[in-house]
Chain A
Amino acid sequence: MEHVTRERMHAPSLQDRVWYSAVEPTAIGLAVGISYFLAARLSLLLLTPTDGVAVFWPAAGVASGTLIALGPRAKWPVAVGVMSATITANLLGDRNIASAIVFALANAGEALFAASLIQRSFGENFGFESVRRVLSFVAATLIACACAAVLATSGVLLFHNQGATAFGIWLNWSLSDAMGAITVAPMIIGAVHAFRRRPEAVEILEGTLALAALSVVSAVTLSASSHHWFAISPLCFILPLLLWLAARTRPLFAALGVFVVAIVVVWTTTFGIGRFGGESIPDAGRVDAARTALLIVSLCGLVFASLFEERRQIEGALAESNERLRLAVDGAHLGIWSLDLTSGRFENDARDRAIHGHDMGAPPTTRARARDYIHPGDLDDLDSQFREAARSLENCSIAYRLASTAGSNSGRWVALEAAVRRDANGRALSLIGVTRDITEQRNLHNALQKEEQRFRELLNALPAAVYVTDAAGYVTYCNQAAVDLWGRRPVFGEDRWCDLAQFYDCNGVPMSVEHCPTEIALKQRRTTRNLEAILERPGGKRIDILPCPSPLHDATGAFIGVVNMTLDISERKRAEKALAERNMQLDLAAKVALVGSFAFDVLAGQMTISPGYATIHGLPEGTEQSSRADWRARVHPDDLPRLKLHLEQTIAARRHDHYCDYRIVRADGEVRWIEARSHVSYEGDRPRIVGTNIDVTRRKLAERALSERKMQLALAEKAAGVGSYAYDAGSVMMQITEGYAALHSLPEGTTDALRSEWKHRVHPDDLGWIEDLSRQSFRDRREEYGIEYRIIRPGGEVSWIESRSFISYSEDGKPQRVTGLNIDVTERRRAEDHQRLLVAELDHRVKNVLATVSAVSASTVRSCNSMQDFVTALDARIRSLASTHELLSNRGWQGLPLDELLRRQLAPYAAQNNVHIKGPRVLLDAEAGQALSMVLHELTTNAAKHGALSASAGHVFVQWRLQNTSTDGGRLMVNWREADGPMVKTSGKSGYGKSVITELIPYELGGKVDYRFASAGVRCRLEIPAGFVTDEQKSGLPLNCSPANLRAL
C-alpha cells in the first residue's frame, strides 16, 4: 500500500506524445517483429520431442500483449511485425510461403482480435485491476486463439500433411497460443504500465528478489526428481511466492513470476526433467499437465495480482480520497466527529477538539461529556435535530453556541453537519459529521447584515429615489423615496420600471419608452445625464424629475441591470421659474427705475447692455449691443472732454473704480443726466469695463433747484440779516449759515464756528444772564426760548441780536441738538427806541404844555381883575400856544418859519396894511419858536390893547436879520416897532405880559430883550442866539436829546 500511496501519476507529456506519433510505429513494429521472431524461435526450440508441439507460444503473448498494452494505434505496426516475423520464422523453419502467410495472418489476426475484444469491453489502458478483467482477458485470449487456430489449422491442413486431426491441430494450436498469450501478454502489459507509472526502487528490489526466489524455487522444485521431498508438490512453494509477488508488487511482477514459472514448466516438460518430465507420463499428458499447470499458475497469479491490485487501487483511491478529504477538511478548518447512537461513544479529531475547546489531554469520549461544551440554550435544538436525523436518516445541519467557560468560548459559534450511518435494516447506527468554527463567519455575517441594513437605511434616507432593475427591466429593489415618487410600492421582479409611470419631456410632450434614459441604459448600456423630464403618476399628478440611470455590471463584467437615481426637481423648477420671474421683474424695475448696466470690451469697442440701459439711452427696446462710437455720439459735447480725461486718468493709474456723471443727448433730442459707476478690470489682454448707469436727470434738476433755492435763501438771509446755526449739545463746533457769518462779521463762506468764539462776541453784560437762562432752559427741558442780547462786532459796533433756540432732548432728558435763528434787530431796536423816545417826548411835551398852561393861568389870574378879562386873556394865550403847536405840527416839528409865526400872531389884527413883516427866511427850532411865539403874543396883545393895533392908523413893523459874530456864533435880531398908534402911556404896571416879554427869552433862550416905550411907539428888540435857528432837515427833537441820555423801560 505504501508503494501505491507514494506514487505519483506520470501523465504522458507532450514530448511523449510526439515521440509516440512519429517514432513509435516503426519502433513498435520493429520491436514486436524481433521479439515475436525470437519468441517463436524459442518456442520452436521447446517443441515436444514426440509430437513437435509447442507447449506454449509466447510469441502470441508478445503480439497480443503489445497490442493490448499500446492500444489500437499500434495495430498496424504489430500486425506488420507479427506477420513479417511469422513469415520469416516459418521460412527459416522450412515451411512454404503460403503457409507462412496463413500462419502470419492467423497470428496477426489472433492478436488483433484479442486486442479488439479487450478494447471494446474495457477501452484503452487495459490493466489487471480486477478479477473480472483477468477473466475477460483469459476469455478474450481463448476466443481469439480459437478463431486464429481455425485459420492456422486450415493452413496446416492445406500445406502440411500431418497425421493429426484437424480438431487436434486446432486444439493444440489454440491452447498453445492461448497459454503463450496468457503467460506472456500480462508481462508486456505490465511492463508498459510500469513504463507509464514507474515503480519505486523498493518495489523493484522486492519484486526482483521475489522473482529471483521464485525462479530458484520453481526451477529447483520443478526440476527435482521425485524423490526429493520438495518435488512432490512444487506448487506449494511456487504459489506462496506468487502470492508474495501479487500481494506486495504490482501485476507486472506477478506476470513476470508467472512467466518464469511458465518457462520452467515448459523447460522441464520439454526436456523431461522433474515433475513434468517423468517418463511415466506420455507426451500428450505431459503437455496437458504443463498447460494445465501454466493455466492454473497464470490464473492464480493473475487473479491474485488483480485482487491485490484491486485492493491496492482501492486502498490507493481511498488513501487519495482520504488525503483529499484531509486537505479539504484542513482547508475548510473542519473538525470531524462521530457519535455512536447506541453506545453514546463520541470520537473526534484534534481540530474538532480545538474548535470546541476540549481538553486536549482528556477529551470527552461520551456524548454526555461532549454536551458540556455546548451552550445550554442550544442543546435542545441540537438534540431534536439529531433525533430527527436519526429518524429520517437524512443529513442535518445546525449552528450552535459554545458554552462560555472562563470566557474563552464566549460568543463562539459552531456549525455542525451530520450524516447518518445506518445498518442494513435502515436503522440509524451512528452519526458522523463535521464541525466548523463559524464565529468569524457569523460575526462577519452579522456585520454584513448590519452593513446591509445600514445601507438600506441610507438608501431609504436618501431624498432621491433609487431603484434597481434587472437586465430585462424588472424592478428588483427600490428605496422609500422611490415609493413616494411613484406613489406606490412596486412588486419586485414583477413590475417593470416603465409600467409605474408615464413620462413626458420637459416641455410636456409625451416621451416614448425608447427615449427614456432608463431604457437607453438598459438597451444601449450607456448613461444619459442632464435630461429633465416629467413623471406622471397613474393618478395624473405630474412631477419634474431628473433621472440618472447607469448600467450595472457584475464582477465578471456581465450586464446585470440598471440602477437609476431620480431626483425630484420640482422645487428647483419652481425656484427657476420664480427666478426667471424675478429677473423679469428686476429688468422691468431697472427699466422703470432708469437703472441700466453694461459690459464694455475695450478692444472690440462694443458693449453689451441691459434693457434698462437701452431705456435710459433712448435706444430701441430689445437692443443688446452698442458700440463705443454710438455712445460717444450720445454724450453731450460739453461733457465729453472732461469724461475722456477722467477715463484716461483712471486707466493710466490702473485704478479699478471709475465714477463720473455726464449728460447725454438722446435720439429724440432730450438731454438726460447719467451717473455712471464702473469697474475696470485689467486682467489679461482684454480690459473690460463693467458698470451701471443711472438716469439722475430728475435728481440733478432737483439738486440744481435746491442749490439755487439755497443760494436764494442764503441771499435772503444775508439781506434780512438772518442767520441760523446748529450744534450738538456738548460739541465745541457749530454749523452756521452764510447769513450767520455775515451777521457776526465772520469771513464769508465760513460754515463752522467755535462756540467759544460766539461767547467772546457777546456783550459782557449779557453773557451772564444768557448762560443762566440757557442752563435753566436745559434743566426745565424747554424746547424753545427766545432772547435778545448784544454782540460786539470786530469793528466795535454793537448789534442787537434776537435769538430763537430750539432744543431737542434725548430719552433721558439730555439736550441733544440745538438749532437756532439769529436776527439782527439793531435797526428795529433803534426804531423802537426812537419811537419810545418820541412817545416819551410827546408825553413830556404835553405835560410841559399842561404845566405851562397851568402856570400861565395862575399868572394870568393875578393880572386880571375880572373873570371876563381872565377868561379872555387866558383863552387868547392858550390859542396862541395852540396855534404855535399847529404850526410846528404842520411842519413835522421841524422848525417854525419866523414869518409864518409873525403872520399868525398878527393875523387877528391885521387889516389893510398895518402890519409889515420883513426879513429873511428863518426857521426857528421848536423851543425858540414857542418861546418867541409867547413873547410875540404878548407884544401883539399889548399892541392891540394899547398900542398901534388898537387904532386903525397904527402900523407894526417887524424886521429881523441874522447877525454873524465871531464870538458867540451869531444871533437873530428881531425888531418890533409900533408906529402911529395912540400915545404911549408909560404904564408902570409890570404885568404878566411885560414880564413875559422881558424875561422869557433871556431865561429860556439866553438871549436879550430890549423893551422900550418910545414916544413914537413901543419898540422891542429881541436877540436870540443863532443856535436856535435850524435848517430844514433837522428833526424836531431838542438838540441835546439823544437816546444815550435817556433810559426808559
Chain B
Amino acid sequence: MKPTPPTDPVVLKGLSVLVIEDAWQVAKALKGLLEQYEIEVIGPVATATDAKRQFDIRKPQAALVDVNLKGELAWDLIDHLSENGVEVIITTGYPQLMTKTRAPIVHLQKPYPAEELLSALSDIARRR
C-alpha cells in the first residue's frame, strides 16, 4: 500500500462528489462522512441510470463509484464520467478486479478506511 497523502480538510471543502453506491448503509455512512468534511454530496444514487441523471444535473467534480451496482458492472458509467472530466474513485468488493477502463482512476477495496477515501479526495481536490 502506498503511503496515503494526508487529508486536507481545507481543500476538501466544497468539493462536489457524486456518490454511487447500491448499499444504503454504506451510502448513508459515506454521505455522513463526506458531509462532515463539508463536501457537497450529490446523491447517493443506487443505479447507473440515476447516476447519469444526477451527473447531467449537478456536474460533480468527482465520483465515488461502487463498481458492482445491483449486479451490473459500472464500467460504462465510469467511462462516461471520466470522459466528461469527472475524477472517478471506484470501490469494489471483488478482489483483483480487472479494470475495463483506461481512465486513470483510483481503486479502493472494500472495506476501506475513511482516511484512504479522504486522502484520495484531497488529492483530487488539490488537482482541481
Interface residues of A (CB under 8 A from B): 840, 843-848, 850-852, 854-856, 858-859, 862, 927, 931, 934, 995-996, 999-1000, 1003-1004, 1006, 1038-1041, 1045-1049
Contact = CB atoms under 8 A, between A and B. Distances in A.
B70 A851 contact: no
Nearest to B44: A1003
A851 B73 contact: no
B112 to A, nearest CB: 8
22 contacts: A844-B93, A844-B94, A848-B23, A851-B25, A851-B110, A852-B25, A854-B26, A855-B23, A856-B29, A859-B25, A859-B32, A862-B32, A931-B24, A995-B28, A1004-B22, A1038-B71, A1040-B70, A1041-B71, A1047-B98, A1048-B94, A1048-B98, A1049-B96
A1048 B96 contact: yes
A850 B111 contact: yes
Contact of A859 (B28, B72, B93): B28
Given A855-B23, A1040-B72, A848 B29 contact: no
A854 B111 contact: yes
B43 to A, nearest CB: 10
Contacts of B110: 847-848, 850-851
Interface of B: 22-30, 32-33, 44, 46, 68, 70-73, 92-98, 100, 109-111
B33 A1039 contact: no
Contacts of B92: 844, 847
B34 to A, nearest CB: 12
A544 to B, nearest CB: 98
A1045 B72 contact: yes
A698 B73 CA distance: 67
Nearest to A856: B25
Contact of B46 (A862, A934, A1004, A1048): A1004
Contacts of A847: 92-94, 109-111
Q: Which 9 pairs from chain A and chain B are nearest by CB?
A: A847-B93, A1040-B71, A855-B29, A844-B93, A1038-B71, A855-B25, A1041-B71, A847-B110, A1000-B24
B23 A851 contact: yes
Given A844-B92, A852-B25, A1000-B25, 7 more contacts: A840-B95, A844-B94, A847-B94, A854-B26, A862-B32, A996-B24, A1048-B94
B26 A844 contact: no
Contacts of B70: 927, 1038, 1040
Listed residue (B24, B25, B30, B96) with the most chain A CB atoms within 10 angstroms of its CB: B25
Nearest to B93: A847
B23 A1004 contact: yes
A926 to B, nearest CB: 11
Contacts of B97: 1048
Given A1040-B71, A1046-B73, A1049-B96, A855 B22 contact: no
B94 to A, nearest CB: 5
B98 A1049 contact: yes
A995 B29 CA distance: 12
Contacts of A934: 25
Contact of A1003 (B27, B29, B68): B27
B51 to A, nearest CB: 13
A840 B94 contact: yes
Nearest to A1040: B71
Contacts of A996: 24
A849 to B, nearest CB: 9
A846 B93 contact: yes
B72 A852 contact: no
B32 A999 contact: no
A338 B89 CA distance: 160
A858 B32 contact: yes
A957 B44 CA distance: 33
Nearest to B68: A844
B28 A855 contact: yes
Interface centre among A845, A851, A934, A1039 (most CB of B within 10 A): A851
Contacts of A1000: 24-25
Contacts of A852: 23, 25-26
Nearest to A841: B94
Contacts of B32: 858-859, 862
A840 B94 CA distance: 6
A862 B46 CA distance: 23
Nearest to B46: A1003
Contact of A999 (B24, B33, B72, B93): B24
Contact of B93 (A845, A931, A995, A1038): A845
B23 to A, nearest CB: 6
A937 to B, nearest CB: 12
Contacts of B73: 1045-1046
A1003 B73 CA distance: 18
Given A854-B29, A1040-B71, A1004 B24 contact: yes
Contacts of B68: 844
Contacts of A859: 25, 28-29, 32
A842 to B, nearest CB: 10
Contact of A1047 (B22, B100, B111): B100
A968 to B, nearest CB: 16
B12 to A, nearest CB: 18
Contacts of B98: 1047-1049
A1000 B44 CA distance: 12
A840 B73 CA distance: 13
- Pick the most buried of B23, B46, B70: most chain A CB atoms within 10 A of its CB: B23
Contacts of B96: 1048-1049
A634 B63 CA distance: 96
A855 B27 CA distance: 8
Nearest to B112: A851
Given A840-B95, A1004-B46, A1047-B98, A851 B71 contact: no
Contacts of A846: 93
A1009 to B, nearest CB: 12
Nearest to A855: B29
A864 to B, nearest CB: 14
A858 B95 contact: no
B95 A843 contact: yes
A855 B110 CA distance: 11
B93 A843 contact: yes
Nearest to A927: B70
B28 A851 contact: no
A939 to B, nearest CB: 16
A856 B70 CA distance: 20
Contacts of A1038: 70-71
Nearest to A1046: B73
Contacts of B25: 851-852, 855-856, 859, 934, 1000
Contacts of A1047: 98, 100
A829 to B, nearest CB: 17
A845 B30 CA distance: 18
A848 B93 contact: yes
A1039 B46 contact: no
A1035 to B, nearest CB: 12
Nearest to A1004: B24
A847 B33 CA distance: 19
A844 B91 CA distance: 11
A851 B67 CA distance: 14
B29 A1039 contact: no
B58 to A, nearest CB: 18
Nearest to B114: A858
Given A848-B110, A1047-B100, A858 B29 contact: yes
Nearest to B45: A1003
Nearest to A1047: B98
Nearest to A1041: B71
B75 to A, nearest CB: 9
- Kindly name the residue among B44, B95, B110 whose own CB sees the greatest number of chain A CB atoms within 10 A: B110
B104 to A, nearest CB: 19
Given A840-B94, A840-B95, A851-B93, A858 B111 contact: no
A931 B100 CA distance: 30
A582 B110 CA distance: 92
Given A840-B94, A1045-B73, A851 B111 contact: yes
